[in-house]
Structure 1
Amino acid sequence: MENVTFDYPAWTVNDSDGLCNISLSPEEVLSHTYIHSIICAFGLIGNVLVMITYGFYKTTKTMTDVYLFNVAVADLIFVVALPLIAHNEQNGWPMGSVACKMLRSAYSINLYSGMLLLACISCDRYIAIVQARRSFGSRSHAVMYSRLICSAVWVFALFLTLPTLIYTELFEEHDLIELSSTLTCELTFKHRKTAELMKVMVPSLQMAVGFLLPLVVMVFCYSSIMCTLLKAHNSQRHKAIRVVWAVVVVFIMCHFPYNVTLLIHTVFLFMERSCEEEKTRLTVLATSRSIAYLHCCLNPVLYAFIGVKFRSHFRKILSDLWCFGKKYLYSARLSCGTSEVCISGLRTSEGSNIMSSFSA
């Protein structure tokens, strides 16, 4: 039985030259490395702060809070795996088959869970604004329902990731020009029919569940929310409408190019392609995929830092960090004085100045 790889083969048919190398150029690899490093840095900082704020500082939880915490967890899983994925792609795959499966599955889990949770957030906001009379009852019941929904989303995301987890294997890729071989981590199949099925099913699930379904839900919910806000006589409605527009536009700008490119790639998968066409298609696919990755570091800004309540809790984190630094850099006498009241190592007068400097 022959092994058939799902990911793009290192060689493709060219009418004039026979075989050609379609791997990314060193310049493209370097640019993607820089982009992924920026995504990893900002995504790590933003999502960790969101988790700390909602996990330890925000005592009164809402359904959206629980959803945002889980979105941050999903994004954090991916940004932690991203540098390891990039390193292994550039240097072969020295980390073994278990790491191969886990790291390749990280993106799928983030995609399905993150996108579905964003759809849940839009539904929660729709019920709170458009269907204001409907309620999940008390706060404790609402939080319980949201946790059950999040658990169901995670189970569903893991189920959809099973094909990637099962079929991802280490594959020895041979360079027929350089007469060398490298160890890569790709979806690999022993039967051609299984390969043909998975080549269509995996990207189709990504486009349908990871993009189209959340997009339809978000467009419906946020369109209804905007109509309700336009009818409301509220001084803050214009700001709320701008936030709604930002959420939808950023989602489309990040994920639409990659999904369109993925659709085109899937359509041409079983057709004969020239070398130059395949090079161009894979370059566009890699670039649009990096743009889609950006969404994981924009989520904290769009869904958390814009909120006034979240910013107030975030200022509390900064004041506590300031206290922590003062405690170890200065003595208690210098940091608090002898006649002033110190809360968590910070003078109340100094704390109020810091708090006011971060006010909206």
Structure 2
Amino acid sequence: MASLVLNETGLEDCGIDDSFKYSLYVVVYSIAFVVGLVTNCASLFVFCCRMKMHNETTLFMTNLALSDLIFVFALPFKIYYNIRRHWPFGDTLCKISGGAFITNIYGSMFFLTCISVDRFLAIVHPFRSRSIRTRRNAAIVCALIWLLILGGGMSVTFFSATNRSKSTTTCFESFSQKTWKTYLSKITIFIEVVGFLIPLIINLACSSMVLRTLRRPATLCQIGTNKERVLRMIVVHLAIFIICFVPYNSVLFVYAMVRTQALASCWLERLARTLYPITLCVAAFNCCFDPVVYYFTSESFQKSLTTGKCQGKQENTLRSEAPGSSKENTYTETVEGISASSNGKEQVTETHF
């Protein structure tokens, strides 16, 4: 919902000047465009051309990279707009630009949540989740997420995205208070609950249960040195989610309350309009940080990226074993703490996660 939400103002009433945001956006969007384009194109190249084995986690990560690239390709238009403070590209491109931001922010949260749930199932319920963690089910989930975020993006663009004055045309700015009360506030609350609060709760719950499972003696004995890699994976995942998305969505909610006069305060509006450009820029950088998740989540991705070779054959072997195989039983017993492994030396790698 991005610039759609907080670029509209009450300047006449509270005397707020947030013009610093234009220069800030130009710098941040330029960096995000270059870094995000390179890292996400490289990630897609690895997923599509280097990795031989494509499991459900890889499918989630591929869709996450695609949602990042949609936002990256829209950044040149935003950079031009913030330099000139004028939108010459028409109403349609303005709507696409605003929709791309929503697709990236909330698509990233949903796909990161899917990766978190998949890791939870693999570690906490590895045996019972075998029938659930399939490529077919992952593809269905990805399709539903795209329908949800694209539908949300389209709902934001139902009204005119551009506003024309005597000398300039703005994109997603200067919405009236009536528009906020009758339309934007309801969309904002819905997006905040469905697109932010629910994924946040799921991520925190899954991560806490994974950490609790890793503390079990049987699990610690089997994980060995790999435990540190799993912990780094969880920390990186939560850090990206909390740092990029929590501040932005918190400020967004406060400003929506101010604009609808549910919280009538110039001080709160001034605070929100000051913090919003900063939190938006941090959120925009998620397209650069997401490849870090790929690196820590998939061992095959690491080896494909660094050596040009993929351990797809090994990963396929691990995932295709029958439920009654000794390795699968050992893995299940280890993670669930049912009993110790028969050989006491086999280690679980993050490839399973």
TM-score (norm 1): 0.75
Q: Deviations over 1:238-257 (max 9, x none)?
A: 22113212211331122111
Contact 2:109-2:241 at 8 Å conserved across structures: no
- Partner AA of 1:186 in structure 2: F
Matched, 1:108 2:102: yes
Higher relative contact order (CA 8 A, sep 6+): 2
- Look up the match of 1:47: 40
Query: Does the CA-based 8 Å contact 2:185-2:260 persist in structure 1?
Result: no
Distance 1:258 1:21, change over 3 A: closer
- Per-residue displacement from partner, 1:196-241 (whole Å, max 9, x unpaired)? 1322123223322232111111111111111111211221112211
2:58 pairs with 1:72:
no
Kindly tell me the number of residue pairs found equivalent between the two proteins.
299
User: 2:193 matched to 1:201?
Assistant: no
More strand by share: 1
**Match for residue 157 of structure 1 among 129, 149, 152:** 149
Q: Aligned residue for 1:12?
A: 11
Partner of residue 227, structure 2: 237
CA distance in 2, matches of 1:290, 1:49: 23
- Paired with 1:247 and 1:14, the residues of 2 have a C-alpha distance of 41
1:336 corresponds to which residue? Answer: none
**Unmatched 5+ stretches in structure 2:** 310-353
Q: How does 1:198-347 map to 2 (within 5 A)?
A: 198-231=183-216, 232=219, 233=221, 234-235=223-224, 236-271=226-261, 274=266, 278-304=269-295, 307-317=298-308
Residues 277, 196 of structure 1: alpha-carbon distance in 2 compared, 3 angstrom cutoff: closer
Q: Deviations 1:121-158 (Å, cap 9, x if unpaired)?
A: 111111111011123449xx811221111111101111
1:210 to 1:262, Cα distance in 2 relative to 1, 3 A: same
Q: Which runs of 5+ in 1 are unaligned?
A: 174-179, 319-360
SS in 2 for 1:167: coil
2:88 to 83, 90, 94: 94
Counterpart of 2:124 (choices 127, 130, 134) is: 130
Cα deviation digits, residues 4-57 of structure 1 (max 9, x gap): x96644652347xxxx563413xx432332222222222111111111111121
**AA of the residue aligned to 1:12:** L
Query: Which amino acid is the alignment partner of residue 227 of structure 1?
Result: R
| C-alpha distance 123-64 of structure 1, shift in aligned 2 (>3 A) | same
**Contact 2:46–2:305, Cα closer than 8 Å, also in 1:** yes
Distance 1:255 1:111 in 2: 8
RMSD: 2.8
Contact 1:168 1:187 in 2 (8 A): no
* Aligned equivalent of 2:135: 143
- 5 Å-filtered alignment, 1:149-188, equals 149-173=141-165, 181-186=167-172
After superposition, give the CA deviation of every residue in 1:162-218 in whole Å (9 maximum; x if it has no partner).
Answer: 221222422014xxxxxx5320112788994x5413221232233222321111111
The 3-state SS of whatever aligns with 1:106 is helix
Tell me, in whole angstroms, the C-alpha distance in 1 between the residues paired with 2:18 and 2:83: 11
Displacement, 1:277?
6.1
Give the direction of change, closer, same or farther, for the CA distance of 1:166–1:189 in structure 2 (3 Å limit): farther
Identical-pair percentage: 24
Give the secondary-structure state (helix, strand or coil) at the position aligned to 1:171.
Answer: strand
Distance 2:254 2:5 in 1: 16
Which amino acid in the other structure matches residue 257 of structure 1?
P
Paired residue type of 1:148? I
Q: SS in structure 2 opposite 1:200?
A: helix
* SS at 2:157 equivalent: helix
Task: Compare CA radii of gyration and give the structure with the larger one.
Answer: 1
User: Could you say if the C-alpha distance between residues 103 and 241 of structure 1 is closer, same or farther in structure 2, counting changes exceeding 3 Å?
Assistant: same
Kindly provide the amino acid, as one letter, of the partner of residue 241 in structure 1: L
Spell out, residue by residue over 1:293-317, the C-alpha distance to the aligned partner (whole angstroms, 9 max, x if none): 1222111112335633212111355
TM-score calculated relative to the size of structure 2: 0.76
SS of corresponding position for 1:61: coil
Contact 1:168 1:185 in 2 (8 A): no
Cα shift readout 1:49-69 (whole Å, capped 9, x = no counterpart): 111111121121110000000
Cα distance in 2, alignment partners of residues 182 and 10 from structure 1: 17
